[in-house]
């Protein structure tokens, strides 16, 4: 075991920089997403309207990486990372200003676009700076960082929105701004073999892959009947818990076990002056268990 550890190539600095960026991005992304259903109902919109915006948001988040990955291969990871931040930051800030349905829908689509641009770049960085001696560990650390950001984002955002929704959005915006600064100052383009493949050629390759009927059916089943309902459930679960369940009793139980400070952090005071555990905290607990 020691012999194997001794032969493992050390991770370069950019590996740790990239993973730090990933933590911040997942913090911002999930901080907004997990409580978005509660926010929409807070503004008076229906769950059907939430479903439309949520579906389009997820569609952009998971389709855009096909294009952004191709651009990153041609123009460099760092440049495309910065482009994603420049799409992310104003979009999040706009959530603090716009209250119309069309405005919120367009803003969330823009955030989905930014997330889609960002999504493949850190994993591609990890792939580029690791070799056969440390690749498995490298990706293990990468996914651990994804989980760290995704775990703390909704918890912190939930606590902040109990004071003001603008505080929750501002926390996400600050996270993206820190990512921008870290990328400009510390991210170095990893050395890799640049593929001279155009976007049209990439899309042609995708078309060839999708022409395999079994593979296409698998993607439809996985995307439309698993991933989309899965992420929609987490959002709607937070909304359902926050609006339909008596979480005041749960607050008292948490208070007994973990103390007043912890219980207060995961709760809010409702209009009747009663403390209740936040809906996204309970929904997110299930997410953490799954991970």
Q: Which residues of 88-100 are buried (b: 16+ CB within 10 A; e: fewer)?
A: bbebbbbbbeeee
Neighbours of 49 (CB within 10 A): 16
Whole-angstrom distance between the N-terminal and C-terminal Cα of the chain?
28
pLDDT of residue 91: 96
Q: What number is the average pLDDT over the span 219-230?
A: 81
Of 9-13, 160-164, 171-175, 204-208, give the range with the top mean pLDDT. 171-175
pLDDT at 279 over 50: yes
Coarse DSSP helix, strand, coil percentages of the chain, rounded to the nearest 5 percent: 80, 0, 20
CATH numbers and ranges of domains, the chain: 12-190 (1.20.1250.20)
Sort residue 259 into left (φ over 0), alpha (ψ -120 to 50) or beta. Answer: left
Element at 144 (helix H, strand E): helix 135-161
Which pLDDT value is given to residue 169? 97
**Ranges 39-48, 113-122, 140-149, 269-278: which has the least confidence:** 269-278
Q: How far is residue 3 CA from its own chain's centroid?
A: 38
Spatial CA neighbour of 57 closest among 130, 98, 107, 11? 107
Asked if residue 118 lies in contact with residue 88, where contact means CB atoms within 8 angstroms, the answer is yes
* Encoded tokens for 247: 């979480």
Closest Cα to residue 96, out of 2, 198, 26, 168? 168
Confidence category of residue 6, pLDDT binned at 50, 70, 90: low
Confidence check: pLDDT of 282 > 80: no
Tell me: the pLDDT tens digits for 46-96? 989 998 999 889 888 988 988 888 888 888 999 999 999 999 999 999 999
pTM: 0.88
For 97-136, the pLDDT digits (tens) are: 999 999 999 999 999 999 999 999 999 999 999 999 999 9
The percentage of residues in the chain with a pLDDT greater than 90, rounded to a whole number, is: 51
The answer to whether residues 150 and 288 touch, using CB atoms and an 8 Å cutoff, is no
Whole-angstrom Cα distance, residue 33 to residue 36? 5
Q: Hey, is 215 helix, strand or coil?
A: helix
Token code pair at residue 150: 């995704």
Closest CA to 72 of 57, 84, 60: 84
Average pLDDT along the chain: 88
**Confidence band (pLDDT; 50, 70, 90) for 291?**
very low
Do residues 157 and 34 touch, judged by C-beta distance below 8 A?
Answer: yes
Residue 28 has pLDDT above 90, yes or no: yes
């Amino acid at each position: 075991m020691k012999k194997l550890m001794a032969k493992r190539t050390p991770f370069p600095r950019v590996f740790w920089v990239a993973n730090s960026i990933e933590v911040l991005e997942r913090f911002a992304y999930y901080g907004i997403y997990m409580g978005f259903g509660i926010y929409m109902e807070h503004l008076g919109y229906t769950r059907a309207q939430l479903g439309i915006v949520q579906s389009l948001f997820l569609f952009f988040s998971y389709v855009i990486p096909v294009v952004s990955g191709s651009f990153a291969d041609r123009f460099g990871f760092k440049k495309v990372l910065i482009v994603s931040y420049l799409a992310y930051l104003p979009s999040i800030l706009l959530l603090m200003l716009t209250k119309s349905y069309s405005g919120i829908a367009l803003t969330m689509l823009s955030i989905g676009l930014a997330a889609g641009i960002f999504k493949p770049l850190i994993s591609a960085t990890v792939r580029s700076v690791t070799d056969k001696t440390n690749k498995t560990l490298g990706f293990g650390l990468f996914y651990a960082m994804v989980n760290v950001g995704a775990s703390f984002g909704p918890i912190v955002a939930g606590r902040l929105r109990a004071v003001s929704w603008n505080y929750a959005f501002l926390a996400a915006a600050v996270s993206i701004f820190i990512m921008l600064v870290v990328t400009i100052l510390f991210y170095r383009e990893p050395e890799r073999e640049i593929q001279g493949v155009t976007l049209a050629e990439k899309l042609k390759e995708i078309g060839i892959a999708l022409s395999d009927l079994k593979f296409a059916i698998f993607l439809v089943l996985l995307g439309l009947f698993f991933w989309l309902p899965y992420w929609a459930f987490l959002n709607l679960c937070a909304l359902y818990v926050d609006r339909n369940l008596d979480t005041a009793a749960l607050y008292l139980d948490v208070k007994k076990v973990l103390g007043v400070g912890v219980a207060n952090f995961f709760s809010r005071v409702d209009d009747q002056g009663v403390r209740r555990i936040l809906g996204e905290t309970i929904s997110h607990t299930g997410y953490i268990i799954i991970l």
